[in-house]
Amino acid sequence: MSVPSGAAPAPASGDLPPAERIVPGLTPALRRRARAAFRCLSALSPALAARFAAYLFLTPLARPVSAMERHFLAGARCRRVRSASGRVEIYEWDGPGPTVMVLHGWISHAARLQLVIEALRDAGLRVVACDAPAHGRSAGRQADLQRFRDALSAVHASCGPIDGLLAHSFGAMAALGWLVESGEATTVRAAAFVGMPRDVGYLFDSFVIAMGLRADVTRRLRALFLRRYGREPEQYSALLLAPQVRVPVLLVHGGADELVPLEHARQILSRLLEARLLDARPPEAQLPEARLYVAEGLAHSAPLRDPATVALLARFLAQHLRSSAAQTTPVH
């Protein structure tokens, strides 16, 4: 019996089980309880188990905002705006330079990017951020790429043109998709993506393995995903979008990332560079740089708290945004 691409096959006699993967927010104790629940539910009804798995896959665990994080957010101008997916909490920090939009990842919120935001402000940049739907202070119980993109669109509409992007993990995938889909309408002139997964298919597989889902439940879960979104998880892919990016890109990835393999960043960089090598336009019109910085020894979120890496991110965006602004400023 064939198993759809990306599904976790049932181990045959003598086969090794799939290697364990870490899912954000899923502690060993929670994983044991979830697997026990799915064993019982799958025995009763594989279809019901698949529906419950689909619900969990789209439902981030709540991460509360600490007292220190609330203190940091109190220094921003805060307001709620309506997006296509519900009300979104927006934060603004003024600065004399161009505007950078910062977006967090899964089971996170804007305040957890405090060091990045402070570094960007120290570089003279204006910073805007938001809590994605079902995260932080924003409304909602569930989230996906489209909801994250809706939040980006709401921030862009409310806070004026966005000149730069800095996004982490799942938020990086959403920001990349929003950047490409915006096309000529976008004002973004540079982007930095940290810990970005290759595609949703990898996240789907990680969830399936972590939950210990049976092959028949996995097939039903995949069918539910296809019915809801019209595409397979693997088709929501940074590899497919990367060649369409027309701004300078810095990829940052922890060398000891426990959630997203470093190889994902290398594959994305390869697609970015391939598009630049194939660019046949005149030199002055060709695609700008793309590069990868590996933060050696750092785990998935650690680059956002590492002073050297944070400084690199701020410097990359500040230099590219100021240089591009100078090139487009008329001389009187």
279: domain CATH number? 3.40.50.1820
* Residue 90, in any domain of the structure: no
User: In degrees, to the nearest 5, what angle opens at C-alpha 82 toward C-alphas 91 and 173?
Assistant: 70
Q: How confident is the model at residue 197 (pLDDT cuts 50, 70, 90)?
A: very high
* Residue 12, in any domain of the structure: no
Query: Tokens representing 212?
Result: 């210990």
* Residue 1, in any domain of the structure: no
- Over residues 87-97, the mean pLDDT reads 96
Measure the CA dihedral 125/130/132/133, to 10°: -160
**Host domain of residue 51:** 28-57+201-229
For residues 101 and 215, state if they share a domain. no
For residues 162 and 41, state if they share a domain. no
198-219 confidence digits (pLDDT tens): 999 999 999 999 999 999 999 9
- Over residues 266-295, the mean pLDDT reads 85
| Domain count for the chain | 2
**What was the pLDDT predicted at 15?**
54
106-123 confidence digits (pLDDT tens): 999 999 999 999 999 999
pLDDT above 70 covers what percent of the chain? 90
For residues 108 and 172, state if they share a domain. yes
Q: What's the residue count for the chain?
A: 332
C-alpha span between 232 and 200 (Å, rounded): 9
**What was the pLDDT predicted at 183?**
78
pLDDT above 90 covers what percent of the chain? 80
For residues 286 and 214, state if they share a domain. no
For residues 280 and 262, state if they share a domain. yes
Instruction: Show Cβ contacts of residue 1 under 8 Å, excluding neighbours closer than 6 positions.
Output: none
Q: How confident is the model at residue 329 (pLDDT cuts 50, 70, 90)?
A: very low
- Over residues 185-191, the mean pLDDT reads 89
* Residue 182, in any domain of the structure: yes
- Kindly report the average pLDDT of the chain as a whole number: 91
